[in-house]
Amino acid sequence: MKAIVQDRYGPADMLRLTDIPVPVPGAGQVLVEVRAAGVDPGVWHLMTGLPYVIRLGYGLRRPRHRVPGLDLAGVVTAVGAGVTGFSPGDEVFGSGTGSFAEYALAPTGRLAPKPAGLSFAEAAAVPVSGQTALTAVRDAARVRPGQRVLVIGAGGGVGCYAVQLARAAGAHVTGLCGPTKLDLVRALGAHDVVDYTRHDLPDQRYDVVVDTAGNRPLARLRRILTPKGTLVLVGGEARDGRWLQGFDRQLRALALSPVVGQRLVPLIAKVGSAALATLTEHIEAGQVRPVVDRTFPLDQAPEAIRYLRAGHAGGKVVVTR
C-alpha cells in the first residue's frame, strides 16, 4: 500500500511517499481503508519529536510508528480476533495508528459509525479536535446555560468545535480569532467576535475561558476570569524552547490552581467511542458541523502539515485519497 513514512524526527521535508505492507489487525483492532485523515498539531509534534518530553512515550531516537496520522474516516476491510460491533464494509471514523496511508489500524474503542450526512473528509475532521473541544467544554469547564464563555483561537481546529459546543450548552459565547476568521466564527454561532490583532484580549470578564492558542501568560488570562471562573488550557504552542515548548504553562497552572479561587485546568482530552457518539448526536442534531478549510491528496501530506503549522487554516486540514 502507499503510505507517508518517516524514519527520523524532523521537518515535513523528510516525509516521503512509499510502498509498505498492509498491516494486519490484531485482537481488538480493525483494518480501515482510509478515505480521509485529519491533520492536527499533534501530528506536527510527533513528526518533529518536539517538545523533547514526548519522545519518552513515542521513541527516544526515532518515531515508534513510521507512518504519521491519527484522525481517520474510512471503510472497515478486516477485523481482528474478538472484535464485535464492526464488520467489513462499515463506514467508520475515529483515531488510529498511521492514518496517512491507504490502510490503517484502529482499536475498536476509538472508533464509531460515521455520522450520517458527513463526507469522509468532514468525518475525518472530527475525532481529535472534536473530542478535545468536548472534553474542554463539557468536562473541564462544565459550561452551563447563561455563562459567559470566551474561546481563544476560535477559528482553529479545536476552537471551531468549542464555540459550537459552548453555544449548544446555552452559554453566551465570544470568539477571539484573526481578522480572516471573524465571519467563520460568527457563522458557527458565536454571539460576539473579537479580532486579536486589534484587541489582544477582550476588556471584560468571563465565567469560562477556553484557550486553544497557548501563548498568553496565565496572569493575563486570570485577569479576564471572574473570581470563581474556570480557565481551560488546551495544549501549549509556544514556538521557542525544545524541552517543553509552552507545556510548562500547564505545570504552573496545576501548581497555582489549588491556592487561588479560580480553576486553572490543563486539559487531557478524553477520547473513545463514547465521546465520538456524543459528537455524532450533536452533528446529527445540527448543533455542530465540521469545518474543513482545505484538503490535500495523500502525496501532498507534507504540504498539508506545513499549511496547518503556518496558521492559515480556518477549521481543519484534511488529507484525502
Output the domain CATH number for residue 174. 3.40.50.720
What is the strand order of the sheet 206-211 is part of?
192-195, 172-177, 148-152, 206-211, 225-233, 263-266
Predicted TM-score of the model (pTM): 0.94
Same domain, 192 and 301: no
Domain CATH code at residue 89 = 3.90.180.10
Same domain, 40 and 84: yes
- Is 276 a domain residue? no
Give the C-alpha separation, 304 to 320, whole Å: 11
**Pairing, β 111-113 against β 91-95:** antiparallel
pLDDT in tens, 150-162: 999 999 999 999 9
What's the confidence (pLDDT) of residue 246? Answer: 57
**Domain span at 152:** 129-266
One-letter identity of residue 180: T
Same domain, 119 and 149: no
Residue ranges in the chain modelled with pLDDT below 50: 239, 243
Same domain, 183 and 207: yes
Give the C-alpha separation, 97 to 88, whole Å: 18
Q: Residue 91: how many CB atoms within 10 A of its CB? A: 17
Question: What does residue 192 show for φ and ψ, rounded to 5 degrees?
Answer: -130, 145
Same domain, 250 and 307: no
Going 82 to 86 to 89 to 93, the CA torsion angle's sign is negative
Domain count, the chain: 2
Same domain, 116 and 207: no
Give the C-alpha separation, 301 to 137, whole Å: 30
Same domain, 39 and 14: yes
Give the C-alpha separation, 12 to 174, whole Å: 34
- Is 279 a domain residue? no
Given a contact cutoff of 8 angstroms between Cβ atoms, the answer to whether 297 and 317 are in contact is no
* Structure-derived torsion over alpha carbons of residues 36, 42, 47, 51, reported in degrees to the nearest 10: 180
Same domain, 229 and 120: no
Same domain, 186 and 302: no
Cis ω before 51 (30° cut-off from 0)? yes
- Is 272 a domain residue? no
Given a contact cutoff of 8 angstroms between Cβ atoms, the answer to whether 138 and 169 are in contact is yes
